[in-house]
Amino acid sequence: MSILTFRNVSLTYPARTGKGGAGEKRVLDGINLQVASDELVAIIGRSGSGKTSLLNLAAGFLTPTAGTITVDGTPVTGPGADRAVVFQDDALYPWLDARDNIAFPLKLKGVPLAERRAKAEVLLARVGLADAGDRHIWELSGGMRQRVGIARALAAEPRFLLLDEPLGALDALTRTRMQDFLLRIKAESGAGAVLITHSIEEALLLGTRVVVLSPNPGRLTAEIEAGFNAEILNGASVADVKASPIFKRMHAGLTGLIHAGEEELAA
Amino acid sequence: MTLLSELDALAGETNDTAPARAARPLPIAVISALTIGVIIGLWALASAYALVSPVFLPSPRQVVIALYNLVVKGFVDATLAEHVGASLYRIFGALIASILIGIPAGLAIGTSRVGRGILDPIVEFLRPLPPLAYLPLIIIWVGIGEASKITVIALSMLPSIILSTSAGVRAVSKDHVNAARSLGASKAQVLREVVLPSAVPSILTGIRIALGAGWTTLVAAELVAATSGIGFMIQSAAQFLVTDIVIAGIIVIALIAIVLEYVARLIERRLVPWASHR
């Protein structure tokens, strides 16, 4: 069991010179968070709350101004294959076909061509794209691209999947199907996951826990145990879960929590 | 030419979607062909009625015969194929040299502050210089042989290859780089597996522009000091007032340039089909 830990993490951007650039901007303030590999922690917040910065810190793209981020006790000092990122804008390589995109992390490790292509085939089948290996990236739909992106991240055999609004750009119908898919593939992989989303519904459906991030500066202001993902994994349909009274109640509660910050700001 | 055919295709599309009209307008390719026909016709008339002395303007028929003789018998000790071969040898020698130097230099400018600081002034100095301005200096340094011609042509090709490489490198998607880093790529791997491939379309465009510049320089370089080559052939013919060969040579130069451009576009489409889908 791996654990990703944020301990008193703050992030401050230096003062910007020029118009309106008075003083430094504190983006995240005193974040404490633990994610275990059997969890999917959904982080939700409005735009500008620093959710993407939080994920970029975990990925190692950014360095905290204060505090530490560790994976199983080892400090994060930069990006690494133990924390693979799935991007909203898929970030697949158009010069590689779907199979070689998935095999990319294996290539980086020096796995021989035949072996990494064989492994990519297995992953293609796992994400339901067994016949799409030869396809160009631009021939794939948005949902298929995200499946390839997730398979590519899994090929790195990460301890944690960092999901940066991976379903944000999909249409509503595809999105519902992909939510179910994402849950299953995450559970099979045995990796922990951090999901950034601005959809309360998605956070509740997918997250073992839902964490609310409030802006100016970004602070974790609420945390709830969701547990709907277990129901879905046990066979309940996403639609049924969404229709249940308890889901609606929690949805309303979370909406209130996120909204509360807004009113404070206005007052 | 390609631009025209693209415009033509565009026009064709809009026509297809519009309701059928009584008369389809003339395709642009037909208009272009007519234009060329009219020019050749006027040229034939002008020489037939001796409006201009044949020394200055030989008839189209004479030019065709000159072209035929060039292919079969040749001019100044070499056939047309040998002249063209000598020119192509120079241009491709120069192209290979400028690619070998230009791509690493472009990578250095695009990825490193120090590299940029060192190379930028050199490129900016070289870029606006007309190659003929430094040709005499190159001849003093390298001599009058093949090396000086290849050097001058390569120098005229370098800036566009360097600049297109560095532009391509700088335009690499941040997400693409971050994805590779989060999947375990080292700095060298990011450069080789992500930055370089995403710069390829830009590099190919640079090579296409370089070929155009190189072709211009080639003909000029051969006018100054050469014993073979298409530019030399024209220069020699002009000295003896063999105007039909001069005109035939000009037509050959234009045709080769068009073919090179076409082949370069073909390679581009083959090599980076994804460039238009980003």
Is residue B1 over pLDDT 50?
no
Which of A52, A106, A108, A138 best probes binding to B when mutated, by most B CB atoms within 10 angstroms? A108
Amino acid occupying residue A156: A
**How, if at all, do strands A25-36 and A3-13 pair?**
antiparallel
Nearest to A35 by CA among A3, A8, A6, A11: A3
Q: Widest CA span of chain A, in angstroms?
A: 63
Percentage of chain B exceeding pLDDT 90: 65
Q: Are the Cβ atoms of A84 and B183 closer than 8 angstroms? A: yes
Pick A20 or A14 by higher pLDDT: A14
Split at pLDDT 50, 70, 90, the class of B33 is very high
Q: Is the pLDDT of residue A31 over 50?
A: yes
Q: Residue B14 pLDDT more than 90?
A: no
Distance from CA of B104 to the nearest CA of A (A): 21
- A68 DSSP β-pair partners: A7
Residue A225 pairs with which residues in a beta bridge? Answer: A209
Q: Supply the mean pLDDT for chain A.
A: 89
- The pLDDT score that the predictor gives to residue B151 is 93
pLDDT score at B21: 52
pLDDT digits (tens, 9 = 90+) for B95-137: 999 999 999 999 999 999 999 999 999 999 999 999 888 988 9
| A160 close to A58: Cβ distance less than 8 angstroms | yes
Contact A87 B179 (CB under 8 A): yes
The reply to whether A77 touches chain B by the CB within 8 Å rule is no
**pLDDT category of residue A46 using cuts at 50, 70 and 90:** confident
Q: What percent of chain B has pLDDT over 70?
A: 92
For B186-197, the pLDDT digits (tens) are: 999 999 999 999
Kindly state whether A109 is in contact with chain B, defined as any CB-CB distance less than 8 angstroms: yes
Rounded CA-CA distance B70/B81 in Å is 9
Q: What are chain A's domains?
A: 32-82+158-260 (3.40.50.300)
Residue with tokens 């465009």: B205
pLDDT surpassing 70 at residue B5: no
Instruction: Dig out the tokens for B46 from the structure.
Output: 């002008």
Residue A85, chain B, CB below 8 Å: the answer is yes
Interface of A with B in 153-172 (CB under 8 A): 153, 155-156, 162
Mean pLDDT of the A62-87 span: 94
Q: Output the pLDDT for position A22.
A: 59
Instruction: Judge whether A213 and A51 are in contact, CB under 8 Å.
Output: yes
Per DSSP, the three-state class of A76 is: coil
Closest residue of A to B185, CA-based? A108
Model pLDDT, residue A112: 96
What is the identity of the amino acid at B217?
T
Q: Tell whether A235 is within 8 A of chain B (Cβ).
A: no
The angle that helices B60-72 and B80-111 make with each other, rounded to 10 degrees, is 90
Chain B neighbors of A59, CB-CB under 8 A: 178, 182
Looking at A122-126, A220-224, B252-256, B260-264, which range is the least confident one? A220-224
The greatest distance separating any two alpha carbons of chain B, rounded to the nearest whole angstrom, comes to 77
> Measured between CA atoms, how close is B184 to chain A, in angstroms?
4
Averaged pLDDT for residues A207-220: 89
Shortest alpha-carbon distance between residue A253 and chain B (Å): 35
Q: Which residues of A touch B274 (CB under 8 A)?
A: 94-95, 136-138
| Residues of chain B contacting residue A60, judged by C-beta atoms under 8 Å apart | 181-182
Confirm or reject contact between A116 and chain B (CB < 8 A).
Answer: no
- How many angstroms separate the CA of residue A176 from the nearest CA in chain B? 25
CB contact under 8 A, A81 and B274: no
CA–CA gap between residue B245 and residue B238 (Å, rounded)? 8
B76 against B120, higher pLDDT: B120
Contact assignment for A152 to B173 by CB distance below 8 Å: no
Whole-angstrom distance, CA of residue B71 vs CA of residue A133: 51
Task: Determine whether the interchain pair B181/A79 forms a contact, defined as Cβ–Cβ distance below 8 Å.
Answer: yes
Report which secondary-structure segment, H or E, holds A247.
helix A245-266
Consecutive H or E run containing A58: helix A51-59
Q: What is the mean pLDDT of chain B?
A: 88
B-chain CB neighbours of A80 within 8 Å are 182, 184
Q: Which of B175, B185, B277 sits opposite A91 (nearest CB)?
A: B175
Residue numbers in A near B181 (CB within 8 A): 60-61, 78-79
Q: What confidence tier does B17 reach under pLDDT thresholds 50, 70, 90? A: very low
Q: Which of B176, B184, B273 sits opposite A108 (nearest CB)?
A: B184
Instruction: Say yes or no to pLDDT of A211 above 90.
Output: yes
Q: Measured between beta carbons, which residues in chain A are less than 8 angstroms from residue B186?
A: 108
Q: Are A43 and A54 in contact (CB under 8 A)?
A: yes
Two tokens at B100?
């070998």
A243 vs B: CB within 8 A? no
A227: tokens are 């547990």
* B31-65 per-residue burial string, b: 16 or more CB within 10 A, e: under 16: eeeeeeeeeeeebeeebeeeeeeeeebbbbebbee
According to DSSP, the residues that pair with A213 across neighbouring strands are: A220
- Calculate how close chain A gets to B185, using CA atoms only, in Å: 6
Q: What interface predicted TM-score (ipTM) does this complex get?
A: 0.89
DSSP string, A172-209: HHHHHHHHHHHHHHHHHHT-EEEEEES-HHHHHHH-SE
Split at pLDDT 50, 70, 90, the class of A256 is confident
Which amino acid belongs to residue A248?
K
What are the chain B neighbours of A109 within 8 Å (beta carbons)?
A: 184
CB A81 within 8 A of CB A156: yes
Interchain CB distance below 8 Å, A109 and B198: no
- Contacts of A136-140 with CB under 8 Å at 24 or more apart are A136/A94, A136/A97, A136/A98, A136/B273, A136/B274, A136/B277, A137/A90, A137/A92, A137/A93, A137/A94, A137/A96, A137/A97, A137/A98, A137/A101, A137/B274, A137/B277, A138/A94, A138/B274, A138/B277, A140/A98
Q: What domains can you pick out in chain B, each with its CATH number?
A: 2-51 (no CATH), 70-277 (1.10.3720.10)
Q: What's the CA gap between B114 and B232, in Å, rounded?
A: 43
Question: Mean pLDDT throughout A73-92?
Answer: 93
% of chain A beyond a pLDDT of 90: 63
Q: Do B197 and A152 touch (CB under 8 A)?
A: no
SS (H, E, C) chain B: CHHHHHHHHHHHHHHHHCCCCCCCCCCHHHHHHHHHHHHHHHHHHHHHCCCCCCCCCCCHHHHHHHHHHHHHCCECCECHHHHHHHHHHHHHHHHHHHHHHHHHHHHHHHHCHHHHHHHHHHHHHHCCCCHHHHHHHHHHHHCCCHHHHHHHHHHHHHHHHHHHHHHHHHCCCHHHHHHHHHCCCCHHHHHHHHHHHHHHHHHHHHHHHHHHHHHHHHHHHHHHCCCCCHHHHHHHHHHCCCHHHHHHHHHHHHHHHHHHHHHHHHHHHHHCHHHHHC
pLDDT band at A264 (very low <50, low <70, confident <90, very high): low
Say if A63 is an interface residue toward chain B (CB within 8 Å). no
Chain segment B164-210, per-residue pLDDT in tens:
999 999 999 999 999 999 999 999 999 999 999 999 999 999 999 99
**Separation CA A24–CA A19 (nearest Å):** 13
CB B131 within 8 A of CB B74: no
